[in-house]
Amino acid sequence: MIDTLAVVGATGAVGRIIVDMLVARKFPAKRIKLLASARSAGQPMQVGGATFDVEVLGPDSFRGVDIAIGSTPDEVAAEFVPWAVEQGTVVVDESAFYRMNPEVPLVIPEVNPEAIATHRGIIASPNCSTTQMVMVMKPLHDAARVTRVIVSTYQAVSGAGLAATRELEQATTAWLAREAEPRQIFPHPIAANLIPQIGSPRPNGFTSEEMKMVLETRKILGDESIAVSATCVRVPVANGHSESILIETEKKLTADEARRLLAAFPGIVVEDDLAAKRYPMPRPATGHDEVFVGRIREDISCPNGIALWCVSDNLRKGAATNAVQIAEYLAKHGLRPADTKAGRPVRA
């Protein structure tokens, strides 16, 4: 049991799910503290029959806070995380700001929980599209070593925030009525359309979202040799990211072997019966914490390839669930920041 856990960005789409999960999962904290910007602070939040007051985020917000989960934009994380660490708070950060910092572990608890013990006050949670892909890669990598991955994503608008979800709803209504569509979040109309750009352009022709999948995958699995090529596409789906993935391995795996490995891995559910039209889809996956995998088959274009399709609720396992799982691990194991001289964790 810890004294206090804080949620930073508690009124956002992911923040609200985090608070709800903490209550539903009976997180072992005597107190849960909610923090947000001045615009959102002061309003009460009703969660699981309990009422929480949202406080203004500031430099003194973390006094007496053991663990903080942050769900904020990068620029907010860059400012508040040092405040928290200075006060002795361990921060589980969902922004991209610290993910590629070599001193910050990037963690998916089912994949690399051992990395949590190396933290120095900050633990990063990966990008949502990376998380579900690496969950699928991990059991295959352990069994046959993944050498190359080609992935195309079909990413829901909820990944761009509450305003993006509203824009899809309003734009779809307008498109069906043949009226002018609102366009504030996306650079092109999102209703009945696909936008093959998520994030900013990079000099190599990829986008920032695509390069996150490349670099984060290698860091989490601890293997810089894995070749990753990603194409990230925004689709007119409210919630739930989908991915078409080709995984090449050093050792050949049959489809049945891959299916068994995936089914046995924690946090993965295999739904794979093409004849019965049974495979993962975003709507059924919404509200669940697992990564759903189907269409598992031996690729016909390369000898050691496994092709598959996976779907996950990007607001849950892709964000809120993963962060809460890390916080639960910290609360259970009592890990304080690693001793910078000895390089070993100091247990509470």
Residues recognised as catalytic: 128, 241
* Distance of alpha carbon 172 from the chain centroid: 27
- How many Å apart are CA 105 and CA 100, to the nearest integer? 9
Beta-carbon neighbour count of residue 117 at 10 Å? 16
* Distance of alpha carbon 345 from the chain centroid: 25
Residue type, 208: S
Q: Give the chain's end-to-end CA distance (angstroms, integer).
A: 12
Token couple for 179: 């009226």
Long-range pairs, 207-211, Cβ under 8 A, ≥24: 207/232, 209/127, 209/129, 209/155
DSSP 10-30: TTSHHHHHHHHHHHHTT-SEE
DSSP 167-178: HHHHHHHHHHTT
Beta-carbon neighbour count of residue 227 at 10 Å? 12
Residue where the block lists tokens 């990008």? 127
